[in-house]
């Protein structure tokens, strides 16, 4: 790590500054949505469907309305009167807010009870009587496309099957030819299971419509408040809500990870209820609602094939995937990318030919698709390439590290154009893998493994050398519902030289109040402690697309630097005015301009700020502020190499992660402490689906993991002591060379763990194990191979 | 619904309230007393976001009825700081980056406090076990362990 340019007092980039947001959190003084209490506030609770697919014959609310404290029940027909019973999804599909005749997944919202307190609302939910007629559900994604499957989206005119889209990328014929010419071809089916982010805070809102002013304020758990405001204006424009009268406030958020990007029906119902009733309405879902109805992630059925020469040179990659989107395509993807950035699937390797196709299908499951700390389907892509690379290594009897080294895109090839069309900005993959191998002692571990194997002990070493693609994105290609994916920052420097900086993103724990202040400190030399960072209030912050897909630093962080540079330009003119010299004679170091050759003649940024309000030159506008809307020229491509060592208990099938070394490269680093924290958390959310988490459905569409009883979020007991390190390869196109890091570890970790388990069992003839690798799954394999104890 | 008059001490202050039989302690704290630092993260007693100390023992306040706290002493996160001075566990979490979104943090700190009250020099394994009823989705626990170790050391020095 390069030494920081600024002093600890200024704490610009590279300082492990303690977080500015922490003083309130460690005192219990955060302000999360459920902490908000407004005068006259009512509570909402939701009746949900027990069936995956059913006709609603009747909803009887008479008993519910007699429950003390219950004021109203809102159902689909109520909303239909205002034409608010349907809403668009972020993928321009449509989704019910409340049903008028049919439910399409278990736990779907059926109607909502409004009451004076949360207990009364829950009583009301119990008392609502709904008469359902169950219909045949479509649960298996493969069967969804059979001609015999019932067509689910009969609301769409002319829809005759359950296909949402067919998407493909790459040169099919060149890829097919490369496969024909290959010395070796390996193939592997793999399923990336449906999982849920399960942020410890669930979702909710307080909707507050003021009948006198006509202003709607919605405090809500959203990662993208500005886009939500526009969606609300577009959806509810016809009932008189106009964008200047809508204020979305995203208060402190208890973890998001993508699960707080979509618009859930609960938000819309609470808002409609507030408009109709004229009182603030609070809705906070409970954990079971959160796990059962909110946006899921993954659910990709992949068939991958990799072609290579005898010496291990990879020549072509071919992938066919079936994507289960549930009842609606509500994945929060950029509009033009129905399969997200899955086409990063050639990974870190110089594969000349590739072709990938994805079919999205409707089933009777909740809608969603990408929300689990991942930049749009990158985790699926990385699992696929890193797993099949190990399958190839085992086929060729090559060491998986050596096979990777042989195929890495070499450092002198950047910017590198991938076979599927991406331009990778920078990378040095071999250095990261070598570093990880040195830290963990790779060669010694292989010796130890051989000895253990001879004794019948099961030990495995797994590698993942991933390439991420984040920071969406260039507006040429990236938009959500037509809104371009730029991001923004507005900085005002006050007369006394302190500043406020507002951003279009929204932290959910990433530490923006600290890191953004450090960016401004780096660029202006104003101490980070004196830069107040604000986000999440659409009335005050500049418009931006929000925080997800590791985009905050690449986009809004860049906007921060650009806005600060505009301010520095003006400050330079002010300094020249104060020093009575030409701006060209000034040199900048963080915090001050001095006259070239006369370093004791200088003006600090604080002097300049004061002059901007008290002594600005004639002809110059007063004030010192700037705004930047940053449209990145390209995405950024963080990468890393992870090595995992596992020991497997032959009695129980339990996989124990003995060591896990993560070498990450996210370009230049703003706050090393925060980056390490992001990686620790990301690794844990990578281990979770590898070993523990999965949401399954039975053939009737009943969820099998709908509470924390059986949806196993890792505790401190299963989580190993992660060992993290870095290499630094700056992004050449980012204003300060950063790449983004929030999701790298979640994306990179699962195949390292899966590869380690398969490696531990390889000598028994095991080529692949599906995640999550539960003790039961492993024990069955051990028993089948006759080595269970 | 029947109600009951209860008296309890919360962070050293006497409180009395007329509460319905079914009111949960977490709601008494959060809604009646407006001590919103105690959070709710689940409905199956798994996440520990609601952890408070009841007569010094960590309990999940989502699974305790308010009436069960009658005549007892409750400590919440708001009671950790004394006379404007942070508790060592609070210092530890700040120093060691033991929190990200902050949602699990109050419960984590209270579980940590209860551990340090009975074990002045816990090992890493003992710390991990003591917080195994508290889920954190953000930090991966590494820095939470360090934060509690930091607090242990600070408290031994005192
Ligand atoms: S709220 Fe989860 S254990 Fe109490
Ligand atoms: S800091 Fe977010 S859940 Fe622990």
Tell the residue nearest (CA) to atom 2 of ligand 2.
B101
Residue A237 pLDDT? 87
Ligand 1 is surrounded, with C-beta below 6 A, by B 40-42, 45-50, 60, 62
Residues of B within 8 A of A722 (CB-CB) are 140, 142
The candidate with the shortest Cα–Cα distance to A187, out of A305, A84, A363, is A305
Q: How far apart are CA A104 and CA A725, in angstroms?
A: 46
* d(CA A97, nearest CA chain B) in Å: 24
Judged by a CB distance cut-off of 8 A, whether residue A119 touches chain B is: yes
* A546 CA from centroid of ligand 1 (Å): 29
A203 is catalytic: no
A374 is catalytic: yes
Judged by a CB distance cut-off of 8 A, whether residue A329 touches chain B is: no
> Could A685 and B102 be called an inter-chain contact, meaning their C-beta atoms sit closer than 8 Å?
no
* d(CA B71, nearest CA chain A) in Å: 24
Residue A213 has pLDDT above 90, yes or no: yes
> Could A684 and B140 be called an inter-chain contact, meaning their C-beta atoms sit closer than 8 Å?
yes
Query: Residue A239 — very low, low, confident or very high, per pLDDT cuts 50/70/90?
Result: confident
Residue A1 has pLDDT above 70, yes or no: no
Q: What percent of chain A has pLDDT over 90?
A: 96
Residues 706 through 725 of chain A touching chain B, CB cutoff 8 Å: 707-709, 713, 715-717, 719, 721-722
The candidate with the shortest Cα–Cα distance to A56, out of A149, A128, A141, is A128
Integer angstrom CA distances of residue A547 from A43, A374, A484: 28, 12, 14
| Contact by Cβ (8 Å): A426, A415 | yes
For the domain spanning B3-79, the CATH number is 3.10.20.30
In this predicted model, what pLDDT tens digit does every residue of A733-760 receive, in sequence order?
A: 999 999 999 999 999 999 999 999 999 9
Residue A375 pLDDT? 81
Residue A786 pLDDT? 96
* d(CA A54, nearest CA chain B) in Å: 27
Residue A54 has pLDDT above 60, yes or no: yes
Annotated active-site residue in A95, A108, A223, A678: A223
What is the mean pLDDT of the segment spanning B98-123? 98
- Model pTM score: 0.97
Integer angstrom CA distances of residue A75 from A115, A281, A360, A424: 15, 16, 30, 50
**A28 to chain B: nearest residue by CA?**
B37
A449 is catalytic: no
Q: % helix / strand / coil in chain B, to the nearest 5?
A: 40, 20, 40
Distance of CA A440 to the CA centre of its chain: 29
Helix (H, G, I), strand (E, B) or coil at A179: helix
> Could A716 and B132 be called an inter-chain contact, meaning their C-beta atoms sit closer than 8 Å?
yes
Residue A2 has pLDDT above 80, yes or no: no
- What is the second-level CATH architecture of the domain B88-157? Orthogonal Bundle (1.10)
Residues of B within 8 A of A676 (CB-CB) are 97
Residue A369 has pLDDT above 80, yes or no: no
| Contact by Cβ (8 Å): A356, A364 | no
Indicate the top mutation candidate among B139, B143, B144 to test ligand 2's pocket, ranked by most ligand atoms within 8 A of CB.
B139
Token pair, residue A118, equals 């949360």
Residues of B within 8 A of A19 (CB-CB) are 94, 97
Which has the minimum average pLDDT: A46-50, A476-480, B44-48? A476-480
In this predicted model, what pLDDT tens digit does every residue of A383-433 receive, in sequence order?
A: 999 999 999 999 999 999 999 999 999 999 999 999 999 999 999 999 999
In this predicted model, what pLDDT tens digit does every residue of A533-583 receive, in sequence order?
A: 999 999 999 999 999 988 999 999 999 999 999 999 999 999 999 999 999
* B61 CA from centroid of ligand 1 (Å): 7
For residue A313, how many other CB atoms are within 10 A of its CB? 17
**A510 to chain B: nearest residue by CA?**
B100
Residue A158: left (phi > 0), alpha (psi -120 to 50), or beta? left
Residues of A within 8 A of B129 (CB-CB) are 716-717
Q: Which atom of ligand 2 is nearest to the CA of B99?
A: 1
Preferred mutation among A43, A46, A200 to probe B, highest tally of B CBs within 10 A: A200
Q: Is A200 in the pocket of ligand 2 (CB under 6 A)?
A: yes
Domain boundaries, chain B: 3-79, 88-157
Residue A234 pLDDT? 87
Q: Domains, chain A, ranges and CATH?
A: 22-28+487-630 (3.30.365.10), 33-135+203-284 (3.90.1170.50), 297-472+634-784 (3.30.365.10)
Token pair, residue A529, equals 């402690």
Average pLDDT, chain A: 97
Residues 668 through 707 of chain A touching chain B, CB cutoff 8 Å: 673-674, 676-677, 679-685, 707
In this predicted model, what pLDDT tens digit does every residue of A655-706 receive, in sequence order?
A: 999 999 999 999 999 999 999 999 999 999 999 999 999 999 999 999 998 9
Distinct helix (H) and strand (E) counts, chain A = 19, 32
Residues of A within 8 A of B132 (CB-CB) are 715-717
Residue A497 pLDDT? 98
Residue A236 has pLDDT above 90, yes or no: no
């Amino acid at each position: 790590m390069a030494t920081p340019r600024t002093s600890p007092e200024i704490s610009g980039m590279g300082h492990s500054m303690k977080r500015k947001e922490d003083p309130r959190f460690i005192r219990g003084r955060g302000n999360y949505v459920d902490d908000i209490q407004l005068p006259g506030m009512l509570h909402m609770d939701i009746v949900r469907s027990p069936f995956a697919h059913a006709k609603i014959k009747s909803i009887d609310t008479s008993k519910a309305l007699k429950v003390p404290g219950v004021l109203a029940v809102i159902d689909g027909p109520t909303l239909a009167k205002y034409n608010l019973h349907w809403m668009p999804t972020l993928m321009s599909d449509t989704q019910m807010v409340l049903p008028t005749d049919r439910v399409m997944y278990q736990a779907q919202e059926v109607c909502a009870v409004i009451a004076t307190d949360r207990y009364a609302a829950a009583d009301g939910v119990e008392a609502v009587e709904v008469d359902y007629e169950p219909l045949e559900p479509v649960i298996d994604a493969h069967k969804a496309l059979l001609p015999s499957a019932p067509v689910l989206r009969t609301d769409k005119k002319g829809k005759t099957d359950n296909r949402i889209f067919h998407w493909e990328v790459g040169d099919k014929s060149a890829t097919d030819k490369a496969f024909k010419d290959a010395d070796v071809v390996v193939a592997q089916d793999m399923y990336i299971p449906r999982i849920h982010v399960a942020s410890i805070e669930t979702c909710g809102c307080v909707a507050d419509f003021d009948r006198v002013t006509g202003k709607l304020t919605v405090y809500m758990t959203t990662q993208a408040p500005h886009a939500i405001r526009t969606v609300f204006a577009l959806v509810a424009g016809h009932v008189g809500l106009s964008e200047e009268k809508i204020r979305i406030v995203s208060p402190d958020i208890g973890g998001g990870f993508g699960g707080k990007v979509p618009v859930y029906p609960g938000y819309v119902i609470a808002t409609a209820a507030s408009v109709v009733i004229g009182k603030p309405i609070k809705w906070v879902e409970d954990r079971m609602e959160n796990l059962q109805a909110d946006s899921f992630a993954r659910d990709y059925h992949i068939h991958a094939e990799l072609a290579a020469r005898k010496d291990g040179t990879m020549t072509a990659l071919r992938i066919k995937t079936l994507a289960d989107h549930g009842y609606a395509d509500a994945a929060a993807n950029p509009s033009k990318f129905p399969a997200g950035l899955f086409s990063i699937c050639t990974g870190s390797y110089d594969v000349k030919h590739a072709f990938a196709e994805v079919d999205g299908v409707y089933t009777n499951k909740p809608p969603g698709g990408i929300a689990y700390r991942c930049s749009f389907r990158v985790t699926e892509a990385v699992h696929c390439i890193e797993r099949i690379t190990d399958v190839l290594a085992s086929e060729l009897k090559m060491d998986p590290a050596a096979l990777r080294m042989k195929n890495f895109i070499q450092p002198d090839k950047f910017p590198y154009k991938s076979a599927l069309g991406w331009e990778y900005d920078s990378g040095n993959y071999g250095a990261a893998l070598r570093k990880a191998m040195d830290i963990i002692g790779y060669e010694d571990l292989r010796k130890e493994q051989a000895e253990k194997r001879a004794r019948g002990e099961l030990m495995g070493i797994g590698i993942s050398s991933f390439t991420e693609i984040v920071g969406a994105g260039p507006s040429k290609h990236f938009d959500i519902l037509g809104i371009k994916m730029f991001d923004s920052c507005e900085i005002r420097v006050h007369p006394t030289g302190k500043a406020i900086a507002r951003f279009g993103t929204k932290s959910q724990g990433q530490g923006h109040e600290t890191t953004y202040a450090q960016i401004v400190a780096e660029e202006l030399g104003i101490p980070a402690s004196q830069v107040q960072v604000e986000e999440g209030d659409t009335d005050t912050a500049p418009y931006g697309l929000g925080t997800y897909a590791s985009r905050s630093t690449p986009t809004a962080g860049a906007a921060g630097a650009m806005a600060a540079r505009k301010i520095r330009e003006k400050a330079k003119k002010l300094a020249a005015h104060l020093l009575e010299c030409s701006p060209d004679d000034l040199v900048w170091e963080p915090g001050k301009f001095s006259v070239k050759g006369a370093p004791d003649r200088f003006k600090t940024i604080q002097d300049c700020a004061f002059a901007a309000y008290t002594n600005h030159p004639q002809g110059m506008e007063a004030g010192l502020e700037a705004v930047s809307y940053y449209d990145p020229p390209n995405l950024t491509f963080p990468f890393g190499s992870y090595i995992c060592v596992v020991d497997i208990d032959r009695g129980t099938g339990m996989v124990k992660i003995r060591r896990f070394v993560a070498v990450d490269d996210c370009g230049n680093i703003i706050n090393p402490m925060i980056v390490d924290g992001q990686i620790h958390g990301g690794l844990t959310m990578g281990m979770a689906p590898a070993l523990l988490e999965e949401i399954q459905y039975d053939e009737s569409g009943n969820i099998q993991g709908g509470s924390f009883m059986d949806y196993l979020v890792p505790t401190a007991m299963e989580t190993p002591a992660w060992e993290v390190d870095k290499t630094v390869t700056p992004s050449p196109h980012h204003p300060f060379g950063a790449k983004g890091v929030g999701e790298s570890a979640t994306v990179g970790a699962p195949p390292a763990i899966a590869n380690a388990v398969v490696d531990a069992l390889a000598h028994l003839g095991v080529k692949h194990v599906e995640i999550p690798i539960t003790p039961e799954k492993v024990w069955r394999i051990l028993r089948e191979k006759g080595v269970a104890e | 619904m029947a109600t009951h008059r209860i008296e309890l001490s919360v962070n050293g202050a006497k409180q009395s309230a007329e509460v319905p039989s079914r009111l949960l302690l977490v709601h008494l704290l959060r809604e009646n007393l407006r001590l919103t630092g105690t959070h709710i993260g689940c409905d199956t007693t798994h996440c520990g976001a609601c952890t408070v100390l009841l007569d010094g023992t960590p309990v999940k306040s989502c699974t305790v009825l308010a009436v069960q706290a009658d005549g007892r002493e409750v400590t919440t996160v708001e009671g950790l700081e004394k006379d404007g001075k942070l508790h060592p566990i609070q210092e530890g979490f700040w120093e060691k980056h033991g929190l990200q979104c902050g949602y699990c943090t109050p419960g984590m700190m209270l579980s940590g406090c209860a551990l340090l009250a009975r074990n002045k020099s816990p090992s890493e394994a003992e710390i991990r076990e003591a917080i195994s009823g508290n889920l954190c989705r953000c930090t991966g626990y590494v820095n939470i362990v360090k934060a509690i170790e930091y607090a242990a050391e600070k408290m031994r020095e005192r």
